[in-house]
Amino acid sequence: MKTTRYKFEQVVQEVSQDTAQFLKDEFKSILESDKDFTRKADYIGLSIGSIDKKIASLDEEIKELQSYKKRLKSAKELALTVGAELFKDYGIDKLEGASISSITLTQARTTSKTELAVINEQKLINDGYYKLVLDEEAVIEAFSDDEKKAVVAKYSYLRVNETQTPVRLKVNKRRTSKTAQELAVA
């Protein structure tokens, strides 16, 4: 593990348009030094290469943070759903708190989204269902009209995707000053 951060490495990593002249002077200083050319090359190359190591390290940290964020979101969703099931079992619709205004039970709901699956796009375009490309909204609307439905049904069909959101808890935060919330928690 590297523990030394050289001056030129720091300058290279923190350079901006405003400090480009300083970087240029540092390059000159290295090139005009009495050190042999291989040490100069190593010093410059390793300093610039350290940026790649930092970027790779940051990429890895970002991946870990994204994974952790995903796990936290999943944990929160599970906690809200499991809590809602227990609230329902106990017949609780709402709990009021001091720091939290209330925890309420939301109703289960189902949402649906209509998606168009095109079998023959060119035929639909030839029959007038297009903008610069296929006008999917017009094709979906045509399914509502008996005359037009016969034409568009030959080349496409509608699929309805339903997504069910289970009953879950909703934490309603109290709208007070930050100091009052801190005192209530303490």
- Domain extent at residue 34: 1-89
- Please check whether residues 118 and 75 belong to one and the same domain: no
- Please check whether residues 81 and 116 belong to one and the same domain: no
Q: Per the domain annotation, does 103 fall within a domain?
A: no
| CA 121, chain centre distance (Å) | 33
* Cα-only R_g, the chain: 31
- Please check whether residues 81 and 13 belong to one and the same domain: yes
- Please check whether residues 26 and 80 belong to one and the same domain: yes
pLDDT tens digits along 19-65: 889 999 998 999 999 999 889 888 888 888 888 889 999 999 999 99
pLDDT tens digits along 54-89: 999 999 999 999 999 999 999 999 999 999 999 999
How many structural domains compose the chain? 2
Comparing 179 with 38, the larger pLDDT belongs to 38
Q: Per the domain annotation, does 129 fall within a domain?
A: yes
Beta bridge partners of 170: 104
- Please check whether residues 5 and 76 belong to one and the same domain: yes
Which residue do the tokens 């090139």 mark?
Answer: 31
- Please check whether residues 160 and 122 belong to one and the same domain: yes
